[in-house]
A and B are shown apart, each in its own frame.
Chain A
Amino acid sequence: MENHLLSILLAIPLVGAALILFLPKDKESLIRWTGFVVTIVAFLVSLFVLYKFKPAFPLFQMIDQMLWINTLHTYYAVGIDGISLPLVILTTFLMPLTMISSWKSIKKKVREFTFFMLLLEVGMIGVFISLDMFLFYIFWEFMLIPMYFIIGIWGGEQRIYASLKFFIYTMAGSLLMLVAIIFIGFYATEKLGYFTTLVTHFYTIGPELPVTISRWLFLAFTISFAIKVPLFPFHTWLPDAHVQAPTAGSVILAGVLLKMGTYGMIRFSIPIFPESAKYFAPYVSALAVIGIIYGALVAMVQKDMKKLVAYSSVAHLGFVVLGIFSFTVEGMQGAVLQMVNHGLSTGALFLLVGIVYERTHTREISEYGGIAKITPVFSTLFLIVCLSSIGLPGLNGFIGEFLILLGAFQSAVLGSWAFSIIASSGVIFAAVYLLWMYQRVVFGPVKNEKLLKLKDVTVLEFSIISIIVLFIVWIGVYPTTFLNWSDATVTNYIMKSLRQIGGIVN
């Protein structure tokens, strides 16, 4: 039972999706409830995974492995460690919330929507727990299909352009990775005597690759992940996709999908090509820092709230990448935590923007103003979430960003304080664009007559947001609960990487 726990977790949304197809199309509330119950069950199972998880054990655990394609030595192999665990929980946590939040906003084709959301969950969980590159790749690519439909069917005006751009961008990157995967598999043939795509084998084979080949393969992997993150200058699909996607799509896109890129960097780029990762670390970090500043500056001038949040993602994910490539325990811990933080804060921001959009049908900042008195509860929640995104001490964002900056500051691999210093200014910019937006939307005189009729959040909406806020505060006040999950894994990971690149273990 325990061995198959992760497979069960993976199977639940898949079975749910199949079930949805057989429900009658017009029984919308039945379909919605089924979808919601399935995601709740998946969340409960993931909590059970958490309960069974041994944080002190630094390697993969709960491994479920089975030979899949004999001739290629390809395995169905899933497992979890301290880095993937928080992301799996984040996924299963956000899914039920988005399911309820789309209760009202999704009115057409409910059955298809629920079906695609559940398929998306399969893909997302699969990406985080796969231990075979082939399996990983299948989930990685497969996930494009439901997301493509979610943006394309339920999206805004420009949805076709946005969904196509999203699809082709991601696919172009990932196919290069596929070629790289096969290439390493063959390199393994020379060492092991058989073709393999098992991640653990890649960890032993990868560092022995000749330097030039390793550099190219590192780029093939990392560009594919950088597109997903998105790292500057591969970010142009993101604002389009985010703005056009329905609220549920944006929440999942920002909350989970972007993390796949950073997760891929942690899981594959660095351990398989440690030497090249070290070589490219300053360049990647430079792009990350550019992304932090650029994302913040562009966010500042946005007129559309959703677009503002989308660009803020570019900046926030820049922090995560900086933390990853600092090669320090603090940086990596911060990166893992910040991935979760960003999922919570940005997810909540998109939900809040979605809530007012449903009522006013506009996201233009200039259309709003002075809603503090009209919708006090909304304004309070909005403030907390904005502050968490800015990184106010006491809320979650601060812990993650602080750890990352600390890591980057003392990083021997980056070798310069500059990264940390410039990145810190990103925190200030974040305060500027978010608080300025908040001020224009919430304070000041009521500009628009229509806003007077604006209704405050409903009980349901309040409970969705406050569950997220609970965690925002929890991580901010007592992050140890969450840092403990990944502590042993990250420490071991960094020690191993530093040994491989010949750095000093500090």
Chain B
Amino acid sequence: MELKDLYYSIPLIIIAAGILLELVIEMFVSNAKKILPILTFFILLIAGYYSLFTINQKIGIDGINGIFNGMMNIGGRAHLFYFLFNFGGALLVLISLNYIRKIEIDLGEYYILLLSSILGMMFIAGARSLVMIFIGLEQMSICFYILAGFRRKNMLSNEASLKYFLLGSFATGFLVYGLALIFGSVGSLMLFDLYSNALQLAKNPLFLIGILLFLVGFTFKIAAFPFHLWAPDVYEGAPTSVSAFMATLGKAAAFSALLLIMPGVTSIGANNVFLQILGVISVLSMMYGSIVAIVQSDFKRMLAYSSIAHAGYMIIGLASGNVNGTSGIIFYLTAYTFMNIGAFGIIALLENSEGSFLKIENYRGLASRSPMLAGLMAVFLFALSGLPPFAGFFGKYYIFYAAIQSNQVWLALFGVLSSVISVYFYLRVIVLMYFSEPADDAPIGELSQSGLMAIGAALVLVIALGVMPGSLIELINLLN
């Protein structure tokens, strides 16, 4: 390790130092509950913007360098993900601020766990070694297990936590086994060795099984068919702000790991079997998610199934096996993160400790009770269903573009089919909000200002990314 490694890892250090600082504050300062959210927000914002501004200082892309003895990448795509995690995290802090107070889980640990899991995500996105991926993933997941069960007195929350923990550990088992097989066949933990020897490794059955097990582990984390079963229960039971966190940033982090390994494996002609496997996974995820979402009555469950479908769209990008697929996934992840932060954020804003506004039925006539929230929700739902001119549309466009470029028109066609089906359940909420009379006319109480700010920021991004998608796509392509 050299001294300049520390300089290059400033975003990581900011977060890590923040965690330690917050631990101390939590223990010794009396009004820690007031300080911690603000501190966390600024830590994330500073780390996020620092990552964005230093996005061009590429270290480790050439395969020789990297910091910490070649364990981590700096700059480029890693920093883009850092920005996404940190900025998304900052918005979620704003949403959590009032929410955890409302549902009485206002504990300092909440923010510390949030920061820790974001640090784990950053380890994954910046990894140059299989070990870093694993450490990052575990750090992220363990924080998730705890956060999911944060409402200790709530049965659903406990169930979510336990279910996620048991199934997650099981998936991790597969993952570790896979990593071991990959390590055994490559002879090194460094991703660079994997890329450079991929041609020979393609003939090694152990390596292929290793990748397959790796895929099992991560299909679980991104909640794609057939390892999606945890998602609806966990999203439903976990506190809404935590569901939002897992659905957006958790998924983005898992995708960043897939993007580190899969393109290296699928770019070789001989390994086309993985393209086919990914294609099948994506089609099944899209169709299953969209169809099952139709019959849901719980809003968060519906969003969980929709997130399964969205994972499917993004896997099309992997299954295309080209550079545009990768760019498409990163764009889609960014768009998806802000669309979902918006939708979950509004639920969090409306929900109270008795669990109001968790059922879709509760949104009946929202447009006359709170025109602003209904309007915002409508925009996010239209964006999620992929209608122009919102970000979700361009995400899909680019993903389909990648699929057609690699002559996999069938993936685009299934994507189209799933989009049409998914319109139905997104519109169902809009029908209730706008076309039905409210069940009770009780005005919506005071809304959290900070939460509204976060949702406003998400709205601006969802529209800006839809109207001017060029800037982000250019940036992503530049970093490839």
Interface residue? B477 (CB, 8 A): yes
Complex: A182 Cα to B434 Cα, angstroms: 34
Complex: A74 Cα to B470 Cα, angstroms: 9
Interface residue? B449 (CB, 8 A): no
Interface residue? B420 (CB, 8 A): yes
- Which one of A134, A149, A168 contacts B423 once the chains associate, using CB atoms below 8 Å? A168
Beyond A69-B473, A175-B420, A176-B416, whether A167 also contacts B435 by CB under 8 A is no
A179 touches B427 (CB 8 A): no
Return chain B residues, CB-CB under 8 Å to A149: 434
B389 touches A178 (CB 8 A): no
Complex: A159 Cα to B470 Cα, angstroms: 38
Interface residue? B135 (CB, 8 A): no
* Nearest CB of B to A194, in Å: 13
A69 touches B388 (CB 8 A): no
A145 touches B431 (CB 8 A): no
Known: A71-B474, A179-B400. 19 other contacts (CB 8 A): A71-B470, A72-B470, A112-B371, A138-B388, A138-B389, A142-B387, A145-B382, A145-B387, A148-B427, A149-B434, A152-B431, A159-B435, A163-B431, A163-B435, A171-B423, A175-B416, A179-B409, A179-B412, A195-B401
Question: Which of B434, B473, B474 has the largest number of chain A CB atoms within 10 A?
Answer: B434
A172 touches B420 (CB 8 A): yes
Return chain B residues, CB-CB under 8 Å to A186: 404-405
Within 8 A of B (CB), among A131-147: 134, 137-138, 141-142, 144-145
Interface residue? A164 (CB, 8 A): yes
With CB as the reference atom, state the residue of chain A lying closest to B432.
Answer: A160
A68 touches B470 (CB 8 A): yes
Within 8 A of A (CB), among B408-465: 409, 412-413, 416, 419-420, 423-424, 427, 430-431, 434-435
- Which one of B387, B469, B473 contacts A141 once the chains associate, using CB atoms below 8 Å? B387
- Which one of A25, A69, A138, A163 contacts B470 once the chains associate, using CB atoms below 8 Å? A69
The 8 closest A-B pairs by CB, nearest first: A69-B470, A138-B388, A175-B416, A152-B435, A172-B420, A182-B404, A179-B412, A141-B388
Interface residue? B393 (CB, 8 A): yes
- Interface of A (DSSP majority class): helix
A-B pairs under 8 A by CB, number: 80
Complex: A176 Cα to B423 Cα, angstroms: 15
Interface residue? B397 (CB, 8 A): yes
- Which one of B371, B405, B431 contacts A160 once the chains associate, using CB atoms below 8 Å? B431
Return chain B residues, CB-CB under 8 Å to A159: 435
* Nearest CB of A to B456, in Å: 14
- Which one of A74, A137, A179 contacts B416 once the chains associate, using CB atoms below 8 Å? A179
A168 touches B469 (CB 8 A): no
* Nearest CB of A to B335, in Å: 14
- Pull 5 A–B residue pairs with CB atoms less than 8 Å apart, ordered by A: A72-B401, A145-B387, A160-B435, A168-B423, A195-B401
> What is the interface size of chain A, counting residues whose CB is below 8 A from a CB of the partner?
36
Return chain B residues, CB-CB under 8 Å to A69: 469-470, 473
B residues whose Cβ falls under 8 Å from a Cβ of A: 371, 382, 387-389, 393, 397, 400-401, 404-405, 409, 412-413, 416, 419-420, 423-424, 427, 430-431, 434-435, 469-470, 473-474, 477
Complex: A137 Cα to B393 Cα, angstroms: 11
Complex: A168 Cα to B434 Cα, angstroms: 18
Complex: A172 Cα to B413 Cα, angstroms: 11
- Interface of B (DSSP majority class): helix
Complex: A182 Cα to B411 Cα, angstroms: 13
* Nearest CB of A to B459, in Å: 13
* Nearest CB of B to A151, in Å: 9
B404 touches A168 (CB 8 A): no
A residues whose Cβ falls under 8 Å from a Cβ of B: 25, 68-72, 74, 112, 134, 137-138, 141-142, 144-145, 148-149, 152-153, 159-160, 163-164, 167-168, 171-172, 175-176, 178-179, 182-183, 185-186, 195
Return chain B residues, CB-CB under 8 Å to A112: 371
With CB as the reference atom, state the residue of chain B lying closest to A25.
Answer: B371
Return chain B residues, CB-CB under 8 Å to A164: 424, 427, 431
* Nearest CB of A to B339, in Å: 16
B404 touches A183 (CB 8 A): yes
B388 touches A137 (CB 8 A): yes
Complex: A68 Cα to B387 Cα, angstroms: 19
Complex: A178 Cα to B401 Cα, angstroms: 10
Complex: A137 Cα to B387 Cα, angstroms: 10
Complex: A362 Cα to B469 Cα, angstroms: 49
With CB as the reference atom, state the residue of chain A lying closest to B421.
Answer: A168
* Nearest CB of A to B282, in Å: 15
Return chain A residues, CB-CB under 8 Å to B469: 69
B404 touches A179 (CB 8 A): yes
Complex: A142 Cα to B390 Cα, angstroms: 9
Return chain B residues, CB-CB under 8 Å to A185: 401
Return chain B residues, CB-CB under 8 Å to A74: 470
Complex: A153 Cα to B432 Cα, angstroms: 11
Return chain A residues, CB-CB under 8 Å to B413: 176, 179
A178 touches B416 (CB 8 A): yes
* Nearest CB of A to B155, in Å: 35
A141 touches B393 (CB 8 A): yes
Return chain A residues, CB-CB under 8 Å to B434: 149, 152-153
* Nearest CB of A to B148, in Å: 35
B435 touches A182 (CB 8 A): no
Return chain A residues, CB-CB under 8 Å to B382: 145
With CB as the reference atom, state the residue of chain A lying closest to B387.
Answer: A141
Complex: A141 Cα to B419 Cα, angstroms: 13
Return chain B residues, CB-CB under 8 Å to A168: 420, 423-424
Question: Which of B371, B388, B470 has the largest number of chain A CB atoms within 10 A?
Answer: B388
* Nearest CB of A to B306, in Å: 16
Return chain A residues, CB-CB under 8 Å to B424: 164, 168
A182 touches B431 (CB 8 A): no
Complex: A160 Cα to B385 Cα, angstroms: 18
Return chain B residues, CB-CB under 8 Å to A153: 434-435
With CB as the reference atom, state the residue of chain B lying closest to A164.
Answer: B427
Complex: A87 Cα to B227 Cα, angstroms: 52
Complex: A163 Cα to B420 Cα, angstroms: 15
Complex: A137 Cα to B386 Cα, angstroms: 13
Complex: A163 Cα to B382 Cα, angstroms: 15
Return chain B residues, CB-CB under 8 Å to A171: 419-420, 423
A70 touches B404 (CB 8 A): no
Complex: A349 Cα to B263 Cα, angstroms: 60
Complex: A178 Cα to B420 Cα, angstroms: 13
Return chain B residues, CB-CB under 8 Å to A167: 423, 427
Return chain B residues, CB-CB under 8 Å to A183: 404, 409
Return chain A residues, CB-CB under 8 Å to B400: 178-179, 182
With CB as the reference atom, state the residue of chain A lying closest to B435.
Answer: A152
* Nearest CB of B to A190, in Å: 12
Return chain A residues, CB-CB under 8 Å to B474: 70-71
* Nearest CB of A to B357, in Å: 21
Question: Which of A171, A178, A185 has the largest number of chain B CB atoms within 10 A?
Answer: A178
* Nearest CB of A to B383, in Å: 11
- Which one of A68, A71, A178, A195 contacts B477 once the chains associate, using CB atoms below 8 Å? A71
Question: Which of A138, A149, A163, A168 has the largest number of chain B CB atoms within 10 A?
Answer: A138
Return chain B residues, CB-CB under 8 Å to A182: 397, 400-401, 404, 412
Complex: A505 Cα to B420 Cα, angstroms: 43
With CB as the reference atom, state the residue of chain B lying closest to A21.
Answer: B375
Return chain B residues, CB-CB under 8 Å to A134: 397
Complex: A138 Cα to B390 Cα, angstroms: 10
Question: Which of B397, B413, B474 has the largest number of chain A CB atoms within 10 A?
Answer: B397
Complex: A179 Cα to B401 Cα, angstroms: 8
Complex: A61 Cα to B409 Cα, angstroms: 35
Complex: A159 Cα to B397 Cα, angstroms: 31
Beyond A152-B431, A164-B424, A179-B409, whether A70 also contacts B470 by CB under 8 A is yes
Complex: A68 Cα to B394 Cα, angstroms: 13
Return chain B residues, CB-CB under 8 Å to A72: 401, 470, 473
* Nearest CB of B to A228, in Å: 15
Return chain B residues, CB-CB under 8 Å to A25: 371
Complex: A171 Cα to B420 Cα, angstroms: 7
Complex: A172 Cα to B420 Cα, angstroms: 6
Complex: A160 Cα to B401 Cα, angstroms: 34
